[in-house]
């Protein structure tokens, strides 16, 4: 019997299989004879044993059977209640936002990782908790552009006055949602702050606008801290956002010396934190994000470079299972 793989993710029936990294990982696992089960964070269950009080981790999940096509790409078995501790590997792949629901699920998985019997988790929950995607670059001075994180109006306005042309982002957003470019002559800055602060208690992140984004925002995939490939994401005409979810165009690319330097500096940290599959974003010479929750891009990279990135991920996972 093959390995049993649990995948914590958003509903599989709602994905776009053509560009979805989680789908590619599951498809590769299935091709290797593994049993793949999917569930969402709301179907993660912790209960205590009636006699001993020991935590028991269960999931309400379905086994999936996948086909590499755009329509009719998944069939399901019936729902089952499964002991998560009987799984060999758990892929933690649900998308942000990095809110209390996400945090709670990750805390529970971190507790699971401390048990005597637990699946190998990719990525390691403690690593996810220790590396919020827009905060993690701050560990590497000199690699990221001028940045401010705050809710303080005076500090936010001072940063804008200093750099004139800036990018405003939700600190825990994803997929390009809620990102605005604010030029020096733009009169909507105060209104945007009011809007964000009315719907969230979280700080905002401001960064200097990098004109190099017009040439693309590179997504670089690292496997266990080593470069596996990259794709350049070019903003659509009239847009400053390069994310593929919001209309960016994928292009083949090669890494510059500076980008390789960034990857080399990140590698030891990623390995130490158990972040086996990560995707970093680089604009020009600057690191802007370290994506550790559900990094995407491997299908595009695989297509452009005729290489099986999902296969490389599983080769790395299996090597760790053997240790």
Q: List helix spans (H) across the chain.
A: 21-31, 100-113, 125-130, 153-163, 189-199, 257-272, 298-305, 309-321
The string of DSSP codes covering 98-137 is -SHHHHHHHHHHHHHHTSSS--EEES-HHHHHH--TTTGG
Among the options 93, 241, 299, 312, which is catalytic?
241
What is the C-alpha to C-alpha distance for residues 190 and 300, in angstroms, rounded to an integer?
A: 38
Among the options 123, 232, 243, 291, which is catalytic?
291
Among the options 4, 124, 160, 169, which is catalytic?
169
Is 25 strand, coil or helix?
Answer: helix
Among the options 210, 224, 289, 300, which is catalytic?
289
Q: Which of 65, 114, 105, 63 is nearest to 85 (CA)?
A: 114
Burial class (CB in 10 A: 0-12, 13-18, 19+), 95: middle
62 flagged as catalytic: no
Among the options 224, 259, 273, 281, which is catalytic?
281
What is the C-alpha to C-alpha distance for residues 229 and 280, in angstroms, rounded to an integer?
A: 11
Among the options 4, 233, 299, 312, which is catalytic?
233
265 flagged as catalytic: no
Among the options 219, 232, 273, 300, which is catalytic?
219
Question: Between the CA atoms of 105, 110, 116 and 122, what dihedral angle is there, to the nearest 10 degrees?
Answer: 90
* Pair of tokens at residue 55: 């935590």
Is 171 strand, coil or helix?
Answer: coil
281 flagged as catalytic: yes
130 flagged as catalytic: no
299 flagged as catalytic: no
How many other C-beta atoms are found inside a 10 Å radius of the C-beta of residue 297?
24
Q: Which of 229, 211, 210 is nearest to 219 (CA)?
A: 229
Is 51 strand, coil or helix?
Answer: coil
233 flagged as catalytic: yes
- The catalytic residues are 134, 169, 219, 233, 241, 281, 289, 291
């Amino acid at each position: 019997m093959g390995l049993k793989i649990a995948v914590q993710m958003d509903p599989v029936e709602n994905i776009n299989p053509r560009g979805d990294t989680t789908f590619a990982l599951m498809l590769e696992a299935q091709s290797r004879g593994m049993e793949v089960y999917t569930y969402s964070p709301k179907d993660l269950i912790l209960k205590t044993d009636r006699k001993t009080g020991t935590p028991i981790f269960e999931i309400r999940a379905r086994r999936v059977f996948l086909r590499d096509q755009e329509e009719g790409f998944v069939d399901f078995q019936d729902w089952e209640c499964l002991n998560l501790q009987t799984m060999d590997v758990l892929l933690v792949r649900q998308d942000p936002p990095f809110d209390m629901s996400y945090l709670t699920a990750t805390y529970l998985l971190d507790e699971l990782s401390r048990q005597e019997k637990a699946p190998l988790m990719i990525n390691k929950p403690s690593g996810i908790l220790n590396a919020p995607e827009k905060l993690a670059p701050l560990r590497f001075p000199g690699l990221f552009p001028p940045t401010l994180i705050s809710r303080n109006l005076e500090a936010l306005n001072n940063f804008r006055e200093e750099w004139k042309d800036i990018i405003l982002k939700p600190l825990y957003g994803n997929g390009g949602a809620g990102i605005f470019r604010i030029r020096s002559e733009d009169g909507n800055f105060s209104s945007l702050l009011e809007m964000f602060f009315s719907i969230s208690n979280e700080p905002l992140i401001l960064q200097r606008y990098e004109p190099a984004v017009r040439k693309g925002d590179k997504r670089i995939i690292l496997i266990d801290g080593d470069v596996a490939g990259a794709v350049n994401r070019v903003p659509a005409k009239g847009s400053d956002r390069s994310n593929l979810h919001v209309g960016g165009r994928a292009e083949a690319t090669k890494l510059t010396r500076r980008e390789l330097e960034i990857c080399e500096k990140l590698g030891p940290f990623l390995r130490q934190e158990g972040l086996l599959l990560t995707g970093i974003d680089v604009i020009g010479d600057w690191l802007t994000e370290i994506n550790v929750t559900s990094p995407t891009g491997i299908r595009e990279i695989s297509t452009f470079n005729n290489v099986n990135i999902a296969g490389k991920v599983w080769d790395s996972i299996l090597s760790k299972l053997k240790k």
